[in-house]
Structure 1
Amino acid sequence: MTSLIDFILTDKPTLTVHQTSVFIGDTVTLICEIYQSTGWKFIFITPSNPQSFETSGTKTIRSVQVSDGGVYKCIGRKGENPHLDTQHSEPIRLTVKDVKPKLTVQPQTSVFVGDTVTLICEVHESTGWEFIFINPSNTESTETTGTKTITLQVFDGGEYKCRAGRGNPQVYTQHSEPITVTVQKRPTPQVSVWPADHVFRGETVNLRCVINGGGVSSWQYSWYKDSIIQQNKLQYYTIRSVTEFHAGKYTCRGTETSGSRYSHISNAVTLTVSGSKPKPKLTSDTEGSVLTGNTVTLKCHIDQSTGWKFYWYKHTQNTEKATTETNSYTIHSVKVSDGGQYWCRAGRGKPDYYTDYSDGLWINVTGVSPSVSLIIRPNRSQHFSSESLSLSCEDHSNSTGWTVRRYTDKLNTCSSSDWRSTGTTSTCTIRSLITSDTGVYWCQSESGEKLHPVNISVHNADVILDSPVYPVTEGDTLTLLCLYRDKKPSNLRAEFYKDGSVVQNQTTGDMMIIPTVSKSHEGFYYCKHPERGESPKSWISVRGDSQMKTRSFNMMTFLLAVSPYLLGTVVLIVKCYRLRGESSV
């Protein structure tokens, strides 16, 4: 028969626990059991307390912490004094885990307004969790699964976190590491077209999709014509040898190359294709024969003028004489050898697309005109202060003695530092204009003969009007420009006025063109920019095609500019010219 002492010395209690791996906040119950006899008390040996007495064989630890982890044992005890203890139970190791969920965002953390993203909160151990998502305003929402789908607006950007909870009462994990979601407005692309949105059959057209903003480093592109997709991935859409089939409305959209974001669809650009190759019209500012020494300006007119360069030919269409960026070609101080037949054509794009040649225009240079020309650089009547101005008397008869003279408030000749004379050309160069340089300038011979008076004005303004120095001939094209002292403003919209009334209200651009000038176009002109202000006024004169009228007008201009007291003399001169014209009929 086994005695009690033998039993106590030889038997061990059995220590059990529901699970040996738990999370912070869980409840753990340890059970110590002896299968024979009764009346036992139990002692639990824990990591934080060498002896913990329990009258029953269970020990409950609520809301365990990391410090509760370690080795647990128990023994049974009978009696008080003296008492008898069993052996220690087999040890059990309890592991307490500090749980921290992992938060991820799909498809990405940088999104546009209205995009949908999925927040995923993961706990990789155990089950039975509920998930709490915390948005940037610290508002919590609970999900039974570890995913939450949200549609983001502008104000939804910021830090997101999550945590998990389970049990009753519920215990919670730590918060996940925060993730920042960036929300931006969805960009709208702009489509540009080169060389123009109105082209001709056979030209090469390049469309470009430009996307600014959105924080996307790399885009791939989709192109649409009349809402039907044309091409993917490339920023440029090139149409070679365009036909009428290609006319229509073009739009584009961008998709992020290494992501899921996409832009709005751009506004439409309408491409117009004309079937026949254009043929320019060549005109001259003179009619009939041109006297030697005069200036001749040829103009190459084409309806669609955007992006063209102009090519000029003399005697034969195979020999190019000059190339200009604008549609005008000026021959200063013409000689008899400048006479002949001229053509023009225009070209643009890469590869070059050329228009047809214009009809030929014959320029006849004959006779003897005043042998000197007044050349003005830059060739306009208004100038900014601090700019330079050069005026040259160029003598075509190889004589000498012509000088630049002027009538201002202070001086009537150029200063010695401004004067330069080389052979048959004398030049007055004012390197830094001031307002007192405003006045009348002309060429004067040693004998006192005065030719080509012009009005030059100098202004401290931010805006001036680029207008012709000499009168414009009836039937010619008049081009006026708004010029700015500093760099051009981003908004080029300018309004042009004649005698105080608006004659052209620009939605874009800073140029006004009157294709065919008549006497009704004479008057005071100026331009006005909404930010830079308005230019000073300039008088635009329109002359008839009679040389007699031209000479009479030039003389009137000179005399009036030099001295208003000579008005009576001017009247007599005009009557003299009229009588001479009547006697010649």
Structure 2
Amino acid sequence: METLLAAIIDKRPKSRVTIKPDQHVFRGERVPLRCDIDADGVSSWKYNWYKGETEGSGVSQHSDEVTLTVSEKAQTVLSVSPQTWLTEGDPVTLNCAVTGSSTGWTFSWFTVSSSVNTYKRVRYEPLSDSRRGAGGKHTVSSADLKHTGVYVCAAERGNPAYETLYSNKQPLWVTGVSPPVSLIIRPNRTQHFTLVSLSLSCEDQSNSDRWTVRRYTESWGPEDCSSFYGGSQTGSTCTISSTSTLDTGVYWCQSESGEEYHPVNITVHFGVILESPVHPVTEGETLTLRCLYDYVSPPILSADFYKDGSLVQNQTTEMIIPTVSKSHEGFYNCKHTARGESPKSWISVRGSRSESQISVLKILTSVLAACPYLLVTVVLIYKCCRMRSKTPE
């Protein structure tokens, strides 16, 4: 009897539950639950819904259990690949993802406005091509100076739309191959001690005063030199009277029309710092790194030097690379056994100018060499055409 009853029950149609857009949803999000029954000969069903239990009345079999997870407000995370520091022409991809969920999202992209009002309120400006669909990627095949900025992303799904919070702020800095202005830093290094004076000057060939020194810090966002604590600008020179760790950030020169040039990452640190060049190093040149400490005289320490976290030279007062190549590009820092470790600095390597000049010279030489042959060919074609026109029919 029990076997017959089980066979009858097994022949009953089975219901199926689906949840859209995902089994992981967020507080405040609209969640449609759908129950379907695949059965022939029956046009209408009465549906009963159960939460956390399997008993109830009905003719069909119960569906399999489906877990619905509800979290607090959805959070997006923004990252960059391959790196945040680029040279003009490099490819870059911004990756946006919703923590713990990947289904049904449409992503939008924004930049942090470079104009901040008196109350330091940050505004987000949507990119002209901000809507990127479900892929969560914004790719630039060839970076331009205009792509320098601070980016955030957000996502939405459903109808009515459920919107996530804005993501973390992700800076992206593009260095020009030959920018019209240079940011000159005194002392001439990217890492600096606390409680010292720091000078930053925007210098171009005409020595004009049309440049403003600006910066972006995690604490204050984008701001002019005159807004820095202890900062003042005279002409195109910005002076910070007494540095603090809050001055750590990216500094650049901005034109009167709002164009941004020559971003430099500056770190202010209490303790050991790395002395490294401000500007990109050209292939073939010599690179010298030193480990400095403000409370010894002279301030140069014998230390270990690291590239991308790996030890490359130990117990030396300076690390020298006599002939730099592109493979030497990376993050460098130094470490002293007693005094501590410096922050990391990115050292960029650009192509040799001489090689570029040789390439251009080769092209010009080839064109000039071909000119006589091209000229003779044109003359012959012209004469041939004239002779044909004079030949009687």
TM-score bracket for this pair, using the shorter chain length: 0.3 to 0.5
Decide which structure has greater helix share.
Answer: 2
Bigger radius of gyration: 1
Decide which structure has greater strand share.
Answer: 1
| Greater relative contact order (CA < 8 Å, ≥ 6 in sequence) | 2
TM-score (norm. length: structure 2): 0.41
TM-score (norm. length: structure 1): 0.28
